[in-house]
């Protein structure tokens, strides 16, 4: 069980496709927020609406995936092999790993990675990309899947099964809490900022969840291994 998490690294990956496609990353966005900003969220003076914290560190990178995007992935993300190549984006290489590791190490420790459906998608795929470079994150890094945590919290507070309350996709939760669609869905930064607002809406519960129930990055299994990598 972790000690008090100091920094929360909200992150999202856009990719070439679904897990069955052995996807590669096309875009990664990490937004680091100190615990203090989550404990004391700011609100718009006029409307009372939750605001994004003023102090956010961001690392957003576009990446040449080295394999074809599925038509669906291109449709929803607006990214293609063509536009990534035209902008001369680099592959997910050892320098990408170094940037991510430096970014994490810049934050107050310990850190917790936060991703929506992270256990099912983002954590295992990031693990695969790191392993393809023969690397891994160092130091204690915790993980929190906001989809799983919010489902379990609803379950804890009610006898109604979480599933019967409707969808737990990021856009469905955002709409439930803020009564409008999130901006820039399927853009990594858009998804991260929507997730951060969803987190802020349930911050007390989720902070406690992170401190007591987050899992350990070291235990994340890769989505697939180097031998299963397929290129274009």
The residue range among 66-74, 139-147, 152-160, 211-219 that interacts with ligand DCM, by the rule CB under 6 A, is 66-74
What, of ligand DCM, Mg ion, none, does residue 7 touch, CB below 5 to 8 Å by kind? none
N residues, the chain = 232
Distance in Å, CB of 165 to Mg ion, minimum = 23
Does position 128 bind ligand DCM by CB under 6 A? no
Q: Are 141 and 34 in contact (CB under 8 A)?
A: no
- For ligand DCM, the binding residue among 2, 10, 17, 67 (CB under 6 A) is 17
User: In the structure encoding, which two tokens stand for residue 35, read together?
Assistant: 């615990």
Does position 186 bind ligand DCM by CB under 6 A? yes
Q: Alpha carbon of 144 to those of 3, 93, 173, 190, 225: distances in Å?
A: 14, 25, 17, 19, 23
Q: Are 168 and 150 in contact (CB under 8 A)?
A: yes
Let me know if 34 is a catalytic residue.
Answer: no
User: In the structure encoding, which two tokens stand for residue 64, read together?
Assistant: 């040449």
* DSSP 8-class letter at 80: -
What, of Mg ion, ligand DCM, none, does residue 189 touch, CB below 5 to 8 Å by kind? none
Does position 12 bind ligand DCM by CB under 6 A? yes
Does position 189 bind ligand DCM by CB under 6 A? no
The residue range among 12-20, 61-69, 128-136, 204-212 that interacts with Mg ion, by the rule CB under 5 A, is 12-20
The site map against Mg ion for 185-204 (x = CB under 5 A) is ------x-------------
H helices, E strands: number in the chain: 9, 6
Identity of the residue, 144 or 207, whose beta carbon is nearer to Mg ion in the bound complex: 144
User: In the structure encoding, which two tokens stand for residue 142, read together?
Assistant: 């915790």
Determine the Cα–Cα distance for residues 179 and 184; give it in Å rounded to an integer.
16
Q: Which residue is nearest to Mg ion (CB)?
A: 191
Q: Residue 104, class by beta-carbon neighbours within 10 Å (0-12 exposed, 13-18 middle, 19+ buried)?
A: buried
Does position 12 bind Mg ion by CB under 5 A? yes
Distance in Å, CB of 51 to ligand DCM, minimum = 23
The residue range among 2-10, 67-75, 152-160, 210-218 that interacts with ligand DCM, by the rule CB under 6 A, is 67-75
Determine the Cα–Cα distance for residues 135 and 82; give it in Å rounded to an integer.
29
For every residue of 17-44, DSSP letters joined together read S-GGG---EEEEEEEEEEHHHHHS--B-
Q: Catalytic site residues?
A: 186
Give the residues lining the site for ligand DCM (CB under 6 A).
12-15, 17-18, 70, 72-73, 76-77, 186, 191
């Amino acid at each position: 069980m972790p000690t008090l998490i100091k920094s929360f690294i909200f992150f999202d990956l856009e990719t070439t496709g679904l897990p069955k496609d052995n996807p590669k990353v096309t875009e990664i966005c990490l937004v680091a927020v100190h615990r203090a900003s989550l404990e004391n969220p700011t609100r718009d003076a006029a409307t009372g609406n939750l605001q994004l914290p003023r102090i956010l560190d961001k690392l957003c990178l576009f990446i040449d995936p080295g394999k074809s995007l599925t038509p669906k992935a291109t449709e929803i993300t607006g990214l293609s092999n063509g536009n990534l190549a035209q902008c001369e984006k680099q592959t997910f290489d050892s320098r990408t790993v170094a940037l991510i590791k430096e970014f994490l190490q810049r934050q107050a420790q310990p850190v917790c990675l936060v991703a929506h459906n992270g256990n099912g998608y983002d954590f295992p795929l990031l693990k695969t990309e790191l392993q393809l470079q023969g690397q891994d994150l160092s130091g204690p890094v915790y993980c929190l899947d906001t989809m799983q945590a919010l489902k379990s919290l609803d379950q804890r507070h009610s006898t109604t099964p979480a599933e019967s309350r409707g969808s737990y996709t990021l856009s469905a939760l955002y709409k439930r809490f803020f009564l409008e669609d999130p901006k820039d869905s399927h853009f990594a930064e858009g998804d991260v900022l929507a997730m951060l607002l969803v987190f802020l809406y349930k911050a007390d519960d989720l902070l406690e969840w992170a401190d007591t129930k987050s899992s350990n990055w070291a235990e994340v299994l890769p989505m697939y291994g180097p031998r299963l990598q397929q290129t274009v």
